[in-house]
Structure 1
């Protein structure tokens, strides 16, 4: 019995070492899965400014609003700059469906940013929108 225990123990240790080495190799070559946050310079380099837009809301009131749209690459930024007329159209279309109450609180603005991100991504071919920032906001 003693020899059987030694063989089992050696086999178990060997399997454990192989698994540990495999885990280290996998983590080394694939990274740990965490995406490093971009620096401020990287965000600016891949962002498009949408100048102030003044438009009517669904109830007849109006809004003045501007955005900075962060793309996932400089190629995507270049495409977005070429598609500025489409992006403005999407923004005006989305705003025209909203009422002043839709902007109440943080959640209202987050919903708008999420919808804009989704709609703009539908027209993009060379990249995608990472984040939409509201840079000015006046509701009257």
Structure 2
């Protein structure tokens, strides 16, 4: 390459060190992202991957009315896009679940948790692009 052996050795060393540095950075970034997959999502990630249902009013099995609204947290952006398109199906699931319950079944935190888990299970049966991570009750009124 060059006539001077010292210049050749220096260029080879610089290229080698640069390659070692790049490989090290890539490995560190790769290994650090795997650890983050199992970490709890931040509040910003939850909000970014959440869908708000409209406020819905429906009749319960006990001839009372329930006014509800939920926030549905999904695991990725594709799932969020899919859930936005399936809004009518989600509303249908919520109405059907509420129509089959009495107000006494919905009282307390256990009743709400049961409703949230049933809705989560039914929505996950529909989803093809991702899954529902959690459902949060935003509004819940029984009249």
CA RMSD of aligned residues (A): 1.7
Count of aligned positions: 112
2:111 aligns with 108
Residue 32 of structure 1: how far off its partner (Å): 7.2
Q: State TM-score, norm by structure 2.
A: 0.74
The yes-or-no answer on 1:43 pairing with 2:46 is yes
Out of 99, 114, 131, the residue aligned to residue 128 of structure 1 is: 131
- Is 2:73 the partner of 1:70? yes
Change (3 A) 1:34 1:127: closer
Name 1:84's counterpart in structure 2. Answer: 87
Listed as ranges, the gaps of 5+ residues in structure 2 are 1-30
- The 1:56/1:38 distance shift into structure 2, 3 A limit, reads same
SS of 1:55's partner is strand
Which secondary structure state, in structure 2, belongs to the residue aligned with residue 117 of structure 1? helix
